[in-house]
Amino acid sequence: MSVTLRMKFKVQLPPIFARMGKTGDFVMAGQWFPKLAVYETVGTRGRSDEGWNMHQYHGNSEFYSDFGIYSVRIDVPEAYKVAATGFQTKTPAVSKGRKSYQFYADDVHDFAWSASPHFEFTEASYSSAGVPGVRIKLYLDPLHKKLSDRYMHAAKSTLAKLGEWFGDYPYSTLSVIVPPSNANGAGGMEYPTLVTAASAKDDTPGYDLERTLVHEIAHQYWYGLVASNEFEEAWLDEAFTSYTEDKLMAAIYGVLPNTPVESSYLTDPEPLQQNSWSFGSSDRYADNVYLRGKLVLTAIERQVGDKTMSKIMRTYFQKYRFKHPSSSDFQRVVESVTKKDWSGFFKAYVRQGQVSDFSVDSIKSGKSGDGNFESRVLIRRNGGSPQTVSVIFHFKDGKTVSKEWDGVQNQIELQLRYSSPLVYVAVDPSLSVVLDNLRYNNYLKAEIPAKARTRWTTGLTDLLENLIGTLAW
């Protein structure tokens, strides 16, 4: 059965704000037409019965649509250049000072376009393993005209890595739009086969130029092809894209993330598997969906290793491209690849808003009758799921003893006898537990009397800010 709907609608473009609008003669048309809800069949995202997935738009949320075919005619003043999802099917027709573009795209779940008479346009063909052949089209603000090589290198390198790591890029075009400085609300957004980079604010940008573009192109895989439900499980796109962004920046530019500092930002953890509008605030939405979600994936990688994590991500992409998967689908892939039960991990970090806090809780030391020193050390796991951590014991004579704790219980008391006094104990000294957001309690000195013992009361972020403040001028 099929249904044909014919609809007339009119959209008044506002000043650019959050993906849509105009400023001067620059136009960004995202979310510009009435969109059908997704009709989910039995089994889609765990559904036991078929039906429509319908939500109104909320400020925290992005979008969820089904795949389809788009044939769109865009009529603009003759001087305008137009960038759009898909590809042009014919040469633009010019008549009476107007220009008519015709675009076509299939197997996409949205359609966006942008127009300006000032675009500096350049394009290049590119192919590699996983990228059978694509026309990369740059529509640059004039301020960034001389930076086209940087944009093109970032686009080509990113597509090459995504194709190598996950699978084929199935479309014939990728358009990159660089908005003007007064159109910042249009920057840094993803649409099928079309992305917007950061707005052009100066002619000598740092790595933010590449990072924003790398992030948005990575969305082509997790948002564009896997197509998660960002109303209800936004982390499946944003966290996966942020994780991939870090991998791309490291592989292409040698820029590494600082995960210990990032984890210190996690002051208000919330469950990842919840509706976007259910988060406590827009900041909590961003901190959890982008940052904590990315660190959840990094935590899996630290436990299974780079090679196995690469297999997990590729398997997930290959199995669920064009299929709207859920968090449970991803968990099943992790368990299938690793042959292990990850229910406790996903319960703690995805379905609940936990972080992993390991601490050295107390040290009791004293001299025993045989002249040795006896120490009892209490180590706690205050949150998260069990995982193995290292614990080091440093003695006054310079000797260091390292032990491992599986973290299965909430706490463990370790006893040591040694000829030299214990100086300090540290849990997870290599900072491998990326979801530990309270590093100040990972270390404790032994020789401080109990009544005088104090801990750092400032978080890692504040310590860094204080240090930077002493160096400022």
Average pLDDT over the chain reads 92
Phi, psi of 347 (to 5 degrees): -65, -45
Q: Give percent of the chain with pLDDT exceeding 90.
A: 86
- Residue ranges and CATH numbers for the domains of the chain are 358-471 (2.60.40.10)
Mean pLDDT, range 179-187, rounded to an integer:
93
pLDDT of residue 369: 78
pLDDT of residue 111: 97
Amino acid in position 253: Y
189-198 in b/e form (b: 16+ CB < 10 A) is bbbbbbbbbb
pLDDT in tens, 17-49: 888 999 999 999 999 999 999 999 998 888 889
Residue 394 contacts by C-beta under 8 Å, 6 or more apart in sequence?
A: 400, 422, 423, 424, 425, 426
pLDDT in tens, 413-459: 999 999 999 999 999 999 999 999 999 999 999 975 444 444 444 44
pLDDT in tens, 103-156: 999 999 999 999 999 999 999 999 999 999 999 999 999 999 999 999 999 999
Report the C-alpha gap between 16 and 312 in whole angstroms.
Answer: 39
pTM: 0.91
pLDDT of residue 462: 55
pLDDT in tens, 202-247: 999 999 999 999 999 999 999 999 999 999 999 999 999 999 999 9
